[in-house]
Amino acid sequence: MASDIEDRSFSADPNIEKVAEAYALDAVDLSTKQLGIKLDWSDASVASVEKALAQLSASYANTNPKPTEEQVMGFAKAYGSYVGEVYRRNHGATWGIVTLNSQKFPGLRTASGVNFWPWGRALNRIKNGAADNIDGYYAALLSKTK
């Protein structure tokens, strides 16, 4: 089970949902126009997100100097939002703020009460490589919330 899918404090925030929806649409556009990857809002499309993040991760690893944290986080927010929106649209969840170890992160709470923060996972996938595979993360989330 992915260690960053945990039950923690959560506060719903409809503004985060609006921002996430916009970021998710950015991921769809970016994937289509720059990576030739079609995202269709299905659970299966998370495997395509993994392919996109693998390309971004390879580029990140081979770029010197490294992109700024802000640049990398922009991609993480887009793809993390897409993954969150896929879950929300297909299984039901609410966007808001997850608190973990006194730190606050944008994330979701599933209908069964599990909190997850896909922005952080997407960021880790870009920076750390395949060990933080987002497709496996999503599969673990689905198995935990059924």
CATH code of the domain containing 58: 1.20.120.1090
Number of domains into which the chain is organized: 1
Domain encompassing residue 66 = 5-144
54 close to 46: Cβ distance less than 8 angstroms: no
In a 10 Å sphere around its CB, with 0-12 CB exposed, 13-18 middle and 19+ buried, how is residue 76 labelled?
buried
Own/partner pairs for 37-42, CB < 8 Å, 24+ apart?
39/82, 41/85, 41/86, 41/89, 41/90, 42/86, 42/90
DSSP designation for 109 = E
Give me the pLDDT at residue 2, please: 44
pLDDT by residue for the chain (146 residues), tens only, comes to 344 554 468 999 999 999 999 999 999 999 999 999 999 999 999 999 999 999 999 999 999 998 999 999 999 999 999 999 999 999 999 999 998 778 888 999 999 999 999 999 999 999 999 999 999 999 999 998 87
Per-residue pLDDT tens for 27-68?
A: 999 999 999 999 999 999 999 999 999 999 999 999 999 899
Cis peptide before 65 (omega within 30 of 0): yes
CB 13 within 8 A of CB 96: yes
Distance CA 76, CA 53 (A): 9
Residue 45 to residue 122: CA distance in whole angstroms = 15
Of all helices (H) and strands (E), which one includes residue 99? strand 93-100
Q: Which pLDDT does position 145 carry in this prediction? A: 82
